[in-house]
């Protein structure tokens, strides 16, 4: 019988992937804990964990977390990424990987060899399961769907999740764009400073990556986003709005770049336009292009057919207009690849995960 489960949270944006699972476990009276890591966003992490009613613990490092797990001896620890001290955990403590992104993004992080060491790995769809099995045939994997989007799969919870656009100062008569760039390689640097004016006929929701908001290294990105936020048609998410889910629920079309959100949004059968003009550091250009290829997961390239691609900022507007006015243009590909990438979209991915944790 499961009595105690810990969720390992180095970054706040891991929490939306865990949240539907946590809520189901709490309904079964399982004692749910969260391990937070000190950083420059401690208040945000504490708020997010408190909202879910979790028992909160803090660590300065993986060594601290390891010591706590070894003393507490929970039934399971759920991780969203690699944990270097994994093999030092007591054998009594089972471990599972519920990757912080979809595990289907354009970056190669989900293929890291270190992710083959967990007792269980949860995988969204059959296409990714096949790739992971080719790389790591001995890993115990379960295809479950994508828990993060469970609230958007059912009408009753979808309505509760959507944003009140008027309350955000936006128009309920305009269609809504979600601009959800990642931190690197990102399109932010190559977007025009006139972005809000150029798309004035639309509402624009801007949901930056957590690193853009909290890491000094990406301060220039935040400065640009802040320059847009006073436009009448723009709402810039605050750091407290750490989940992309309500923004996806409220948008008609998404603009993004090298983010796994491509596949999350298209699995909702909504159009995506990829900014195929990310800003690259000099260390990723010319003879160093191999670094970019290494960072990106080439096995997902054919899946990007689910989205339109804008080759530069000038091309972006025509792509958005075309797909906003004709949202079914890539529908067949979206539906085909959603089954491969995101798996079962019945809204019960979190239930399958909970069942596997309890019965394993």
Q: Looking at residue 339, what is its pLDDT?
A: 86
Mean pLDDT of 275-281: 79
Find out whether the peptide bond into 185 is cis, omega within 30 degrees of 0: yes
CA nearest neighbour of 43 among 12, 6, 16, 64: 12
Instruction: Compute the chain's Rg from CA coordinates.
Output: 20
What are the pLDDT digits (tens) for 225-265?
Answer: 999 999 999 999 999 999 999 999 999 999 999 788 898 99
Instruction: Let me know: does 327 contact 129? Beta carbons within 8 Å.
Output: no
172 CB-contact burial (10 Å; exposed 0-12 / middle 13-18 / buried 19+): exposed
Highest mean pLDDT (candidates 104-108, 267-271, 290-294) = 267-271
What does the domain layout of the chain look like in residue ranges?
Answer: 4-146+346-359, 155-341
Question: CATH topology for 4-146+346-359?
Answer: Rossmann fold (3.40.50)
Mean pLDDT of 16-41: 96
What are the pLDDT digits (tens) for 33-47?
Answer: 999 999 988 999 999
Q: Looking at residue 231, what is its pLDDT?
A: 97
Report residue 88's pLDDT band, with 50, 70 and 90 as the boundaries.
Answer: very high
Torsion-angle region of residue 292: left (phi > 0), alpha (psi -120 to 50) or beta? alpha
What are the pLDDT digits (tens) for 42-87?
Answer: 999 999 999 999 999 999 999 999 999 999 999 999 999 999 999 9
Question: What are the C-alpha distances in Å from 17 to residues 40, 100, 122, 306?
Answer: 21, 6, 12, 22
The answer regarding whether domain 155-341 maps to CATH 3.40.50.12580 reads yes
The rounded distance, in Å, linking the Cα atoms of 147 and 28 is 17
Tell me if 4-146+346-359 shares its fold with 155-341.
yes
């Amino acid at each position: 019988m499961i009595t105690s489960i810990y969720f390992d949270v180095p970054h706040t944006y891991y929490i939306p992937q865990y949240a539907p699972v946590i809520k189901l476990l709490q309904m079964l009276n399982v004692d749910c804990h969260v391990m937070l890591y000190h950083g420059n966003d401690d208040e945000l992490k504490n708020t997010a964990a408190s909202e879910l009613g979790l028992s909160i613990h803090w660590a300065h490092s993986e060594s601290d977390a390891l010591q706590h797990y070894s003393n507490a001896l929970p039934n399971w620890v759920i991780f969203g990424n690699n944990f270097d001290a994994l093999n030092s955990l007591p054998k009594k403590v089972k471990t599972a990987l519920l990757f912080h992104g979809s595990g289907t993004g354009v970056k190669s992080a989900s293929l890291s060899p270190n992710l083959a060491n967990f007792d269980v790995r949860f995988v969204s769809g059959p296409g990714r399961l096949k790739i992971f099995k080719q790389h790591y045939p001995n890993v115990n994997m379960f295809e479950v769907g994508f828990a993060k989007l469970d609230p958007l799969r059912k009408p009753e919870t979808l309505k509760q999740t959507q944003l009140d656009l008027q309350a955000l100062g936006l128009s309920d008569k305009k269609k809504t764009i979600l601009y959800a760039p990642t931190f690197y390689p990102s399109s932010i640097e190559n977007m025009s400073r006139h972005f809000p004016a150029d798309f004035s006929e639309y509402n624009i929701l801007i949901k930056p990556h957590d690193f853009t908001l909290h890491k000094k290294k990406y301060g220039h990105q935040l400065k640009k986003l802040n320059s847009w936020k006073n436009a009448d048609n723009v709402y810039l998410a605050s750091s407290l709005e750490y989940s992309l889910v309500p923004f996806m629920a409220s948008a008609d079309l998404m603009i993004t770049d090298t983010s796994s959100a491509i596949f999350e949004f298209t699995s909702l059968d909504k159009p995506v336009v990829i900014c195929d003009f990310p800003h690259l550091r000099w260390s990723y250009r010319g003879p160093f292009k191999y670094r970019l290829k290494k960072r990106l997961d080439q096995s997902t390239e054919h899946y990007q057919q689910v989205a339109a691609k804008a080759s530069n900022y000038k091309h972006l507007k025509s792509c958005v207009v075309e797909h906003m006015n004709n949202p079914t243009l890539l529908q067949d590909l979206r539906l085909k690849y959603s089954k491969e990438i995101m798996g079962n979209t019945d809204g019960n991915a979190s239930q399958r995960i909970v069942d596997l944790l309890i019965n394993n």
